[in-house]
Amino acid sequence: MKQANTRVRIGLFATGLDTYWHQFEGLREHLDGYRAEIASAIGRMGDVEVVDAGMVDSPEKAVSAASLLVREEVDLVFLYMATYCLSSTVLPVVQRLGCPVIVLNLQPDAAIDYERLNTLGDRGLMTGLWLEHCQSCSLPEIASVLNRSGLRYEIVSGHLKDPQAWTQIEDWVVAARVFRGMRENRLGILGHYYGGMLDVYTDLTRQSAVFGTHIEMLEMCELKRHRDAVTPRDLAFKLEEFRSSFDVSPDCTESELRRAASTALALDRMVESHQLGSMAYYYEGDGAYEDLATSVIAGNTLLTGRGIPVAGECEVKNAQAMKILSLMGAGGSFSEFYAMDFNDDIVMLGHDGPAHFEIAEGRVGLVPLPVYHGKPGKGLSIQMSVRLGPVTLLSVCESRSGVFLLAAEGESVAGPTLQIGNTNSRYRFACGARRFMDTWSKAGPSHHCAIGVGHQLDRLKKVAFLFDIPIMIVE
């Protein structure tokens, strides 16, 4: 699945006690080997740069390691407890970082080889082998000091061959990628809010403050200028992209296809000009501007599938949710609640576009609509269902006290859908349709949400932790 090319920067340092090194031959070398193993595994998790600050075994080395990690602007730091260490060698690092720390309580193996250790016949060798597995000895001490210092951290416990622990580590790396991607993101706003949708209105300053997103205000006249500059050669290429990306309905007239393709080209150029990573839009106007506003769905769907999510009705919060799922590689399609089926205990969600064609069940249909419900004009729209299987719903919400995430896991299930030229899917939730709708709505989101494939709650909880915002789960 296509997603934004975000290279995440992960810090790593190990902790130990310098007194041990001259007491137990080979201990330091073995522990350095385990740290290198961790660094290598993290470096293979996609587009990741690992900043390895080495072994921190004294307060002086703590300051040096912190300086390196701060200078390299890491997004997240893994603290590998290689053996017992003094908390005085940990606190100076964490105090200076300015980002959360994930404490890795990882033994070399699931258990000590007791028989081998007890038959070594040398209590010094035996103690050195035990100290290679002594990670958990430091955990309460480090947690106590970080708690009392008001510093944010989480813990991963396990061993170096433990799939469950490595799943958690990879989830943290993905969450850090989302964190960096959102802070680097430039979100364009084209047009204005749909008048009267009070739930959609948002505090743009707060969105920038929480997520680090740059907000770029766009003008319809710029979009028109780009469309006026479209050449016949450009148009031919975009029409071919339509045919390769969409299942184009025979009902689509050539004039509508050319209109949508011209606008799609203009959108591409606006996105490139402003280096946008996402967008929210809505506009009502006369003449050429209505012509533009009613021909954006196909182009915005192509952008969304390329990792540049676009939300309609100027739903900035939903564009943020879509971007989070996109950075995870989970998609993120623009949706709203359509209906409930009490016979099948499911909820239907969809929209007239844009959609995320990379998470579709089969090919995405491009179809004509004689009218956009609740909006001016007519044009092309999307007929699509989300891929069957596990899904996650996500909303970025604003309450009286601030921004929070709202999420739920469910299943996209087979069954009849509305063939009205909209995205349209059936979703089942473990708590049942009634309870889901009541609980989700009472949390206070807008009526839009983003839908991604896969169950993503573990990662979303970590994303919320990194942004230091609450997450509410409907389950």
Q: 3 pLDDT band (50/70/90 cuts)?
A: very low
- Cα(203)–Cα(316) distance, rounded to whole angstroms? 9
User: Residue 404's pLDDT is what?
Assistant: 98
Instruction: Report how far Cα 253 is from the mean position of its chain's Cα atoms.
Output: 38
- CATH number for position 178: 3.40.50.10940
Q: Are residues 380 and 411 in the same domain?
A: yes
Q: 2 pLDDT band (50/70/90 cuts)?
A: very low
345-359 per-position pLDDT tens digit: 999 999 987 889 889
Please classify residue 222 by burial: count the beta carbons closer than 10 Å to its beta carbon, then call 0-12 exposed, 13-18 middle and 19+ buried: middle
Q: Is the pLDDT of residue 4 over 60?
A: no
Where is 92: in which H helix or E strand?
A: helix 91-97
Q: Is the pLDDT of residue 305 over 60?
A: yes
Is residue 3 in some structural domain?
no
Is residue 220 in some structural domain?
yes
Q: What is the largest CA-CA distance in the chain?
A: 91
- Cα(248)–Cα(238) distance, rounded to whole angstroms? 13
Please classify residue 43 by burial: count the beta carbons closer than 10 Å to its beta carbon, then call 0-12 exposed, 13-18 middle and 19+ buried: middle
Contacts of 381 (CB under 8 A, 6+ apart): 297, 352, 353, 366, 367, 368, 369, 372, 421, 422
Listed residues 150, 182, 214: the one ending a domain: 182
Domain that includes residue 88, residue range? 8-182
The pTM score is 0.95
Judge if the upstream peptide bond of residue 470 is cis by omega within 30 degrees of 0.
no
- CATH number for position 342: 3.20.14
Is residue 332 in some structural domain?
yes
At 101, is the secondary structure helix, strand, or coil? Answer: strand
242-261 per-position pLDDT tens digit: 999 999 999 999 999 999 99
160-198 per-position pLDDT tens digit: 999 999 999 999 999 999 999 999 999 999 999 999 999
Q: Are residues 200 and 164 in the same domain?
A: no
Q: Is the pLDDT of residue 76 over 60?
A: yes
Q: Is the pLDDT of residue 208 over 50?
A: yes
Contact 68, 51 (CB under 8 A): yes
- Cα(121)–Cα(111) distance, rounded to whole angstroms? 20
Contacts of 47 (CB under 8 A, 6+ apart): 5, 6, 7, 8, 177
Q: Is the pLDDT of residue 402 over 50?
A: yes
